[in-house]
Structure 1
Amino acid sequence: MKKIILINTLFLGSFMFAQKVGGDRDAHGCIGSAGYTYSQVKKDCIRTFEQKVKLTEVNPKASYTSMTAVVFSDDMKKAEVFLPEQESGSLILTRVKKGKTWKNGNYALVSNKKMGYQLKKDNVVIYQ
């Protein structure tokens, strides 16, 4: 009898868990529990940790170091940055003419052959 109760409990628990995973789709249909978030420049669900351009926090304020991902539009005119401190969505930067800089307000993403990409806020490098 105890085995039957245990098996039933495990079955019901796994059924309830299966209902929760994948049941957290956002307004765009992205499943957060599977690591997906919506990209405005790609107009699709992406996993930020799978992106090619990842930047590390330069001067972490906590005991851990944050990372951010950068996604570019196909024409490279827009750069989307997924900042951990960004409460909703992402930060969209627009390329300045045909240069290697993308800007939005006090943020600038700069491409440098030696350093790779650097994200600056108020002209101070915060991620590279």
Structure 2
Amino acid sequence: MFLGSLVFAQKADSHTKIGGGKDAHGCLVSAGQTYSQIQKKCLQSFAQKVKLVEQNPTESYTKQTGVIFSKDMKKAEIFLPDGKENSMILSKSGKESVWKKGEYALSPEGKGYELKKNNVVIYK
């Protein structure tokens, strides 16, 4: 009798969905996906080519963020782990080399980029 119950329990569990939580855009949250406004699809921000690392961590770990650029390089999308939104779009015009939005500015620095908030480097 016990063996039959065990087999039944295993079979029932094999049909249970694991990690099925999706956000409003259908992105699989448990897989670290978030929606990109620039690419119009779900992606893993931490797996992007351009990555920035937190400069002055307040936690016992260092946070990381990804950056995606529009094809014309006029917009940059950043994925801030502590942001109210999943991502933020910064823009530049003309021949400027800095993407801006409010208190944030993203600029080329050496071979990479740095993100400033109120003129203080927060990610590099």
Normalised TM-score (structure 2):
0.90
Does the 8 Å contact 1:96/1:103 carry over to 2?
Answer: no
Does the 8 Å contact 1:37/1:48 carry over to 2?
Answer: yes
The aligned length equals 124
- Find the counterpart in structure 2 of residue 92 from structure 1: 89
- Report the AA paired with residue 123 of structure 1: N
RMSD: 1.5
Q: Which has the higher helix share?
A: 1
After superposition, the C-alpha distances for 1:70-113 in whole angstroms (9 at most, x for unaligned) are 1111111110110011022211100242222100001000112x
Q: Give, in whole Å, the separation in 1 of the partners of 2:7 and 2:114.
A: 54
1:117 aligns to 2:113 (yes or no): yes
- Residue 46 of structure 1, CA deviation: 1.1
- Find the counterpart in structure 2 of residue 8 from structure 1: 8
Unaligned runs of 5+ in 1: none
Percent identity over the alignment is 51
Unaligned runs of 5+ in 2: none
- Find the counterpart in structure 1 of residue 101 from structure 2: 104
